[in-house]
Amino acid sequence: METRQKLIDKADKGLSVREQCVLMGINRSTVYYEKQAEFSGDDLKIMRRMDEIYTENASYGYRRQEKQLKMEGYSIGEDRVRKYMQVLGLKALYPNAKKKAHKGEKAHKVYPYLLKNISIERPNQVWAIDITYVRLKGGFCYLVSIIDWYSRYIVGWRLSNSLDRSFCIETFEVAVKTYSKADIINTDQGSQFTSDDFVKAVTEDAQMKLSMDSVGRWADNIIIERWFRTFKHEHLYLMDYSTMAEARFGIDEFIRYYNDHRLHSSLGYVPPRVAYFDEQVRAVA
């Protein structure tokens, strides 16, 4: 297995990593897996607080995160805040953000944002996908979610202990097989979603188009940002999960409740399942 993994060429333009893994009979996630760095209890405490600050105000970049933490009595500097924001997958969002060039940042193809001025009128017209940090006792993991923009129905989700791209691709592929194809898949410009494998998973089917947020634009993917806020305030912050297995079980229960029973004012006070499976329930709010 290890020998076959070494034969995978991530730079190969002819065959994607996914295709190479299929040919060699190995799981794609083993190729992308990166061992999670170890953090002290104090590190984790600060990261938990940073996640809470970001959930309350996603416009906070590293400077304001540092100022807020220092006001609360934490001893921390800008470099450490930047490091933790990278680990947490946090990127400051602004109403009118402009793309900034970062030293050493790899160029990638940017797909246009396709949701501007369009009317979203039915299920599977637009899906949004993103990743968020999930805290655990003594550690953390990441949750990728896919939400149907029209109905707010969660069509796919998965936990991972690292920010590898494979769990995003697999979640997307399972969602398509379980539900349907969406006309538009909207993402941010994170490396998981700009990777050749993810782009190919979406665009190899002519029915689906890939849409990407402008860098730092909070409103471009607002539906999934609201979902993460709901998930954290109504569930995650009320729990204290010890392990990924425990978190997976609890999150599964919450998402079932959210999809099947939680009423949404924007949906005419019906749950997402009703709006997703009965597109005549409401007009777009």
The three state secondary structure string of 132-144 is: EEEEECCEEEEEE
Model confidence at 22: pLDDT above 90: no
Say which residue, 107 or 283, is predicted with more confidence.
Answer: 107
pLDDT confidence bin for 15, thresholds 50/70/90: low
Counting every residue, how long is the chain? 285
Residue type, 56: E
Round to whole Å and give the CA distance between 256 and 261: 8
pLDDT in tens, 27-65: 544 444 455 568 999 999 999 999 999 999 988 999 999
Domain range summary for the chain, segments of one domain joined by +: 2-32, 42-88, 126-277
Side by side, the strands of the sheet bearing 154-160 are 154-160, 139-148, 126-136, 184-187, 209-212
Sequence-distant (≥ 6) Cβ neighbours of residue 40 within 8 angstroms = none
pLDDT at 33: 47
CB within 8 Å of 79: residues ≥ 6 apart: none
| Percent of the chain's residues with pLDDT above 70 | 79
The residues, any chain, with a CB within 8 Å of residue 41's CB and separated by 6 or more, are: 138
Which H or E run includes 32?
A: helix 28-32
User: What mean pLDDT do residues 272-285 have?
Assistant: 70
pLDDT at residue 104 greater than cutoff 50 = no
Quick one: fold of 126-277? Nucleotidyltransferase; domain 5 (3.30.420)
Q: Which residue has the tokens 């490091």?
A: 83
Contact 189, 100 (CB under 8 A): no
186 alpha-carbon distance from chain centroid: 11
Q: Name the residue with tokens 């204290």.
A: 240
Cβ proximity of 132 and 89 under 8 Å = yes
